[in-house]
Amino acid sequence: MAASHTLWMGLVLLGVLGVLQTRAQAQPSLQPNFQQDKFLGRWFTSGLASNSSWFREKKKVLSMCTSVVAPTADGGFNLTSTFLRKDQCETRTLLLQPAGPPGCYSYTSPHWGMVHEVSVVETDYEEYALLYTHAESTKGLGGQDFRMATLYSRVQSPRPEVKEKFSTFAKAQGFTEDAIVFLPQTDKCMEEHN
C-alpha cells in the first residue's frame, strides 16, 4: 500500500513539474540585443492570434490598423493605434513602460485595469516584428489568462514568408489555426499619424 501511494505521489509530482515546465517554456524569449531606436515609427498590425473570447467573437470584422511607436522620456513607448470601428476612425494611445530587459514592456489595460506584459520576441526592424502579450487572469476574463501574438509589418502586404513566420510563432505559443487571423487591408484610417 505504501509503495503504491509513493508511486502515485511521484506521478502527481512529475505531472505538476511537467505543467510548470510547460508553462515556463510557453513564455517566448526576447529579441536579442533589442534596439529601441530602430523599432520606432509606423507599423501595420497585420496579424493577430488570441485566446480571448472578445477576439473570437470580433475577429471576422477586424481590419488592419496603423500603429506609431514613439519614445517616452522614461525609456518606454507611446503606442498610438488608429483603427476602423463602426465605420469611423478611432485612435488610442497606450503607454508601454519598461518592464525588465530591453524589449520587455508593460501597460495597464484601460478597459480591464489589469497589467499586460508585452515582449518584442523577434524583429528585423525594417520589415516585421513579432510581439507576445500576456496578462494574468482576472474575474473579467473568466479566470483565463489573456494571451495575444501580434504581427507588425512596415508594409500593408507582408510577404508570404513573414506570414508563415507569424503562423509558426503563434502556434508555438499554443494558438490553434482558427485563433490566427491575418487582418484585411483597408484604405480607411491608414493615413500617417505622428
Question: Regarding beta strands 77-85 and 115-123, do their DSSP bridges make them parallel or antiparallel, or are they unpaired?
Answer: unpaired
Task: Take residue 128 and report the three cell numbers written for it.
Answer: 516585421
- Contact at 8 Å (CB) between 95 and 73? no
Contact 154, 35 (CB under 8 A): no
List of residues 6+ apart from 5 with CB closer than 8 A: none
Which cell numbers hold the place of 150? 501580434
The type of residue at 41 is: G
Coil, strand or helix at 35? coil
What is the rounded CA–CA span in Å between residue 105 and residue 50? 18
Beta strands 65-71; 115-123: pairing state: unpaired
Catalytic residues: 65
